[in-house]
Structure 1
Amino acid sequence: MHQYLAFDGSGIDGGLFRTITGLARDTTWLNTPMDLWTNAGLVVFAVLMVIGFLRARHRDTAAMTLALAAPVAVVGAFAVAEVAKKLVAEVRPCYSVPHAYIVEACPVRTDYAFPSGHTTTAAATVAALWLLDRQLAWIATAFAVLEGFSRVYLGAHYPHDVLGAAVLALPVAYLISKALGRWAQPLVARLRTGALEPVLTRRPSGAHAARAR
């Protein structure tokens, strides 16, 4: 019975959804690359956070704290999005707009559409990196836009699912990173001078180390 009570989001922007999936129908040569990217893109966001961590090893404790907080912020934003999915219970477009051109396989009915989990991860990464490394954040932003578009192009989500994910994830991840960046800094400072010093701190070597001494 629950599946019949689930929210139908096609009335919000179903027309725009069909326009974008119509583009997918007219560019079948792009279907496979977009399908591969939509999941591979999540690895890209993880790599960007790793790069942020490696850069932070050369920086101060505040930067390292933000680097360690980034994945926590992304997981936190994703958890909030999962709660929102259950509350809204919006059925996927493949059920509400069955005649649209849909590339991605239709999931079970209880795998709800709003907000987009992929876009949540992408937007949360942008917010977390914004506090840590603006250069990486801009790179993540470009990939996040592509990630969000791919979710609609493949027919997995409506445009409002993607927009809603960004609106939710950006402030949640930002606030989690900001809070951890302040509260966890004393702990990270101790770890950087303890057993985890080789992991959390990159010491200068060679001539640079000699000059430092």
Structure 2
Amino acid sequence: MGTVLLASTTGQLPDDPSWFRAVNAFARSTGWLHAPVTAYAKYGVVLFALLLLWGWWAARGAGDLEMMAEALWAPVGTLVAVAVNQPIVNAMHEARPYTALPHVLVLVSRSGDYSFPSDHAVMAGAVTAGLFLVSFRIGLVSLVAALAMASARVYVGAHFPGDVITGLAVGAAVALAGFVLCRRLLVWSVESLARTPLRPLLTTAPEAVGAPSAKVTS
């Protein structure tokens, strides 16, 4: 996590292999961390799914339909961000560290795809940006998880530091830009759904007396 934080504060993308080698040397000297960090690097996406559920639950309990629109956008924006990242990855053609550098420690299965930007970091950045829209507290928890994911992907030898820094930025930018563009449609859609039998999934607040209900006409 220190590498990610340092790059964030200095504004420099640590693409230089020496940064990666420093992290890789640290990984070699901390065998006791291999199992937990590798598990998080591979399966940490489950934590982000749980954070998205937390965001939905918080929005539902708040009885705020605009907040619910933000909560529902968070997973959608994440999928959009990961999709947007695919042509970027294919265009950049950056080799994985274990392909570009000899004799590096690799703790995960070697992938045949390209390295820059990191899909895992894009996902983490998008989830975090989306959850900050919903709740500052949930967003902070997600931010810690995102920095840990970015650092873990470098630790296990799957990415250069610059891959994950850029991935976090791409994910956050796409999620936030998408919400700005779609906000009115999202809020309108949630307000419309709140007048249907799906309302209990969106809010715990009772429907206002005299509020128009959605009707199906033939």
Normalised by the shorter chain, which TM-score bucket? 0.7 to 0.9
Q: CA deviation at 1:101?
A: 1.8
RMSD over equivalenced CA pairs, Å: 1.5
1:119 matched residue in structure 2 = 121
Q: Is the 8 A contact 2:65 2:202 kept in 1?
A: no
1:90 matched residue in structure 2 = 94
Q: Which of residues 33, 36, 43 in structure 2 aligns to 1:33?
A: 36
Secondary structure class of the residue paired with 2:104: coil
After TM superposition, which residue ranges in structure 1, 4 or more long, deviate above 3 angstroms?
none
For structure 2, list consecutive stretches of 5 or more residues without a partner in the other structure. Answer: 1-13, 207-218
Q: CA deviation at 1:181?
A: 2.8
Q: Does 1:20 align with 2:23?
A: yes
Q: CA deviation at 1:12?
A: 3.5
1:157 matched residue in structure 2 = 159
Stretch deviating more after TM superposition (49-58 or 173-182): 173-182
Deviation by residue 1:63-118 (Cα, 9 ceiling, x = unmatched): 1111111111001111111111111011111111121222222122xx10001111
5 Å matches for 1:182-197?
182-197=184-199
5 Å matches for 1:92-111?
92-108=96-112, 111=113
Amino acid at match of 2:176: Y
Q: CA deviation at 1:40?
A: 2.5
Q: Does 1:135 align with 2:118?
A: no
Q: Which of residues 145, 148, 167 in structure 2 aligns to 1:146?
A: 148
1:42 matched residue in structure 2 = 45
Q: Which of residues 171, 183, 208 in structure 2 aligns to 1:181?
A: 183
Q: CA deviation at 1:180?
A: 2.8
Deviation by residue 1:128-186 (Cα, 9 ceiling, x = unmatched): 11111111000000011110000100000000101111221111111112333322211
Q: Give TM-score scaled by structure 2 length.
A: 0.84
Amino acid at match of 1:130: F
For structure 1, list consecutive stretches of 5 or more residues without a partner in the other structure. Answer: 1-10, 205-213
Secondary structure class of the residue paired with 2:44: helix
Identity %: 33
Secondary structure class of the residue paired with 1:184: helix
1:65 matched residue in structure 2 = 69
Q: Give TM-score scaled by structure 1 length.
A: 0.86
Q: Is the 8 A contact 1:52 1:132 kept in 2?
A: yes
Q: Is the 8 A contact 1:74 1:173 kept in 2?
A: yes
Q: How many residues align?
A: 192
